[in-house]
């Protein structure tokens, strides 16, 4: 019964948020439920990040915060990523911190480089393009290489020197991501 109540609460808050976004309301990361935080962009063009807090003897608490990372593509401001794009790109809404290391997984890269994600989900592609760029890799070229030879694409990313985990940068989070993507969001 508690699970049904929680699912209903998430559904109602999601519906309320989507309706308010459609009516021109502002997206404020700190006001988003944790279930919608990851892959959202505030109305001020800052990426939302899901953070967790662990306290002794308590369950982990999740909060949505505004990051310092600005999204340069103004079309993405105020966007809460659609379930369709989350599915198409194979990402998880419960993501706490996003690392370029995930690009080393051929399954992750395969979903991100799929036509449905790459052509239809500009917000997620923008984020991962910036993570790849911080590693010295052009995401669109990584996807081209992945489509023709997935193992070679992973070697290309590893040979950039950054994603191997050996560099001084180690794991990148969204706080390290720059630049925009020239795509348009689908209705999903």
Determine the pLDDT at residue 8: 42
Phi, then psi, of 47 in degrees rounded to 5: -70, 145
Angstrom distance (rounded) from CA 185 to CA 124: 10
**160 — pLDDT class (breaks 50, 70, 90):** low
What is the average per-residue pLDDT within 79-106?
89
Determine the pLDDT at residue 60: 84
| Whether 98 contacts 131, CB under 8 Å | yes
* All structural domains of the chain with their residue ranges: 2-76, 83-176
Angstrom distance (rounded) from CA 173 to CA 69: 10
Q: Check whether 18 has a pLDDT greater than 70.
A: no
pTM for the whole structure: 0.68
Task: Name which of 10, 61, 60 is nearest 36 in CA terms.
Answer: 10
> Per residue in 30-80, pLDDT tens?
999 999 999 999 999 999 999 998 888 888 888 999 999 899 999 999 999
């Amino acid at each position: 019964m508690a699970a049904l109540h929680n699912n209903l609460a998430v559904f109602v808050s999601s519906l309320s948020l989507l309706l308010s976004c459609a009516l021109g309301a502002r997206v404020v990361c700190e006001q988003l439920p944790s279930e919608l935080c990851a892959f959202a962009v505030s109305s001020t063009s800052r990426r939302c990040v899901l953070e967790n807090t662990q306290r002794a003897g308590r369950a982990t608490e999740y909060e949505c915060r505004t990051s310092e990372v600005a999204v340069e593509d103004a079309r993405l401001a105020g966007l809460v990523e659609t379930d369709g794009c989350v599915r198409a790109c194979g990402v998880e809404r419960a993501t706490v911190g996003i690392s370029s290391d995930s690009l080393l997984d051929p399954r992750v890269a395969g979903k991100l480089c799929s036509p449905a994600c790459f052509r239809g989900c500009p917000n997620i592609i923008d984020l991962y393009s910036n993570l790849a760029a911080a590693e010295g890799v052009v995401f669109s070229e990584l996807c081209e290489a992945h489509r023709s030879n997935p193992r070679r694409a992973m070697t290309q990313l590893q040979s950039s020197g950054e994603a191997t985990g050996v560099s001084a940068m180690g794991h990148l989070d969204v706080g390290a991501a720059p630049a925009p993507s020239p795509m348009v969001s689908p209705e999903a």
